[in-house]
Amino acid sequence: MIRWTESMALALTGVAVGMFASSSAGAMETPRLYQQFCAECHQADRLGGSGPALLPESLGRMKAEQAARVILEGRPATQMLPYKDKMTPEEALALAQWLLTPLDKPPVWGEAEIRASHVILHPMESLPPQPVFAADPLNLFVVVEQGDHHFTLLDGDTLEPIGRFPTRMALHGGPKFTPDGRFVFFSSRDGWISKFDLHGLKLVAEIRVGVNTRNVAVSGDGKVVMAANMLPHTLVILDAETLALRQVLPVADPGGASSRVSAVYTAAPRHSFVAALKDLPQVWEIPYNDQAPAWGEATGPREGGALPVRRLAIPEPLDDFFFTADYERLMGASREGGKGRVVHLGEGKAVADIPISGMPHLGSGILWERDGRTVMATPNLKENAITVLDAADWSLIQRIETLGPGFFMRGHEESPYVWTDNMLSPKYKDTVHVIDRQTLKIVKNITPSPGKTAAHVEFTRDGRYVLLSVSEMEGELVIYDAKTLDEVKRLPMKKPSGKYNIHNKITRSSGTSH
């Protein structure tokens, strides 16, 4: 079993990142290079060992040139050594391109492999009964630093770090919390699920559920964890206390056609998980206890702890979705864009179409009250616009023109403003918009660091402060007064990305994603 340490995290940083590119070296030479220089850490099958999987599905979006540079030059402060004295630039490029090529046969990662990867580092009975720090445990932020694969635990009152801890490489899908806010679960692209105790500041357990994982969700009762996989095509159900495997759900229709899973989220008021499938026109609802609404067969765990599946047929596959406040309906869209669908979970079918152009990023949609009605707004990954809809009848209220395509949008019940970025715009990635919730006008453009990517806002528990990431390797967390919009302070960080306030997440604040 693999035990996770800070030195291991640093080792993972370098080797795995470095294997992309295009090249002219011979096809017979690259496997030899891999066996000589990579297989010891990443295994002969490329599925990972002490280092992560070296597959295109799990390595993210790094460019070939960047990866080849890491192979040749190594990475400072990590165990990734430079190979410039052992291979030529052409060989490094060829090796990276070979690793970017999918395997001839899909890798196997099933029940046996999952169980073998499970490790408990700190049993629950060994954890402290109270936090080992004085800060409000519900006004903490988990700040993910992608640059060197760590997270910082930040006090939302003092705006000072409590500690900094290593993570798996390439976290994806956002951390998720138990209902009491004590434990956080991380998922990595290469399938590792990690449970961390935010009171005792210790890693509790880990398990590898797949080769390419999208995200993780925690049940509303805090007893079950579900992970969504792109590879293999499965949903994996874990015991939330120990991360022990409970069930592997193959994702397929009755005819045997399988599908990648786009995302899984918790619909806590319905006592169920809801999953969007990338390749099948279905939404799956998986009840996790007997309080879930009845839908034609027994709900809750079956004999042996297995969970049932409710398959909802819809017109086309959905890539992501957004819940209404009561969790009775979800709004989804496909990556092709041009149309949104409203699916009523109670009725088990699509009930409305929403004309929405571009590629709405519904997973980052938020709600707020305006003129006595609830509105929903979403950024767009392809168009320079925020779309604002009436959450009751899905009619278009307004299209707010922005400087560029954006990824994240955030608000807070106590703030008159919502914030959105333009991080997908080459020209305006450094600027965020502050929008008045009532007039729907942009009241201020903020550029914290000219030329550097500004993205992902989150509010403190009371809505007093706004935290914004300058997402560069030598980046910063920039903190603003949420009312005056004045800058308060900066904290240096390594490519900070998402930051997640525990209270806002576990209370399902309308201003943040769930």
> What confidence score (pLDDT) does residue 373 get?
94
Whether 141 and 185 have beta carbons less than 8 Å apart is answered as: no
> What confidence score (pLDDT) does residue 27 get?
52
Whether 422 and 105 have beta carbons less than 8 Å apart is answered as: no
> What confidence score (pLDDT) does residue 299 get?
58
Nearest partner of 497 among 447, 448, 458, 451, judged by Cα? 458
> What confidence score (pLDDT) does residue 32 get?
83
Radius of gyration from C-alpha coordinates of the chain: 22
| pTM of the model as a whole | 0.85
Q: What is the pLDDT of residues 125-143, one digit of tens each?
A: 999 999 999 999 999 999 9
> What confidence score (pLDDT) does residue 33 get?
84
> What confidence score (pLDDT) does residue 2 get?
34
In a domain, 68, yes or no: yes
Distance CA 247, CA 258 (A): 17
C-alpha atoms less than 13 angstroms from C-alpha of 125 in its C-beta half-sphere: 0
Nearest partner of 19 among 87, 66, 76, judged by Cα? 66
In a domain, 41, yes or no: yes
Looking at the DSSP assignment, which residues form a beta bridge with residue 234? Answer: 250
Query: Can you tell me which residue has the tokens 């805090």?
Result: 222
In a domain, 427, yes or no: no
Separation in Å, CA 512 to CA 97, 133, 321, 378, 445 = 39, 26, 14, 11, 20
In a domain, 199, yes or no: no
Domain that holds residue 28: 6-100
Looking at the DSSP assignment, which residues form a beta bridge with residue 318? Answer: none
Distance CA 62, CA 219 (A): 33
CATH of the domain at 32: 1.10.760.10
Residue 492's contacts (CB-CB under 8 Å, 6 or more residues apart) are 474, 475, 476
Distance CA 509, CA 56 (A): 36
Give 165-179 as a 3 state SS string.
EECCCCECCCCEECC
In a domain, 94, yes or no: yes
> What confidence score (pLDDT) does residue 180 get?
97
In a domain, 28, yes or no: yes
Give the chain's residues under pLDDT 70. Answer: 1-28, 40-43, 48-53, 57-63, 75-80, 294-305, 335-338
Q: How many domains does the chain have?
A: 1
In a domain, 93, yes or no: yes
In a domain, 171, yes or no: no
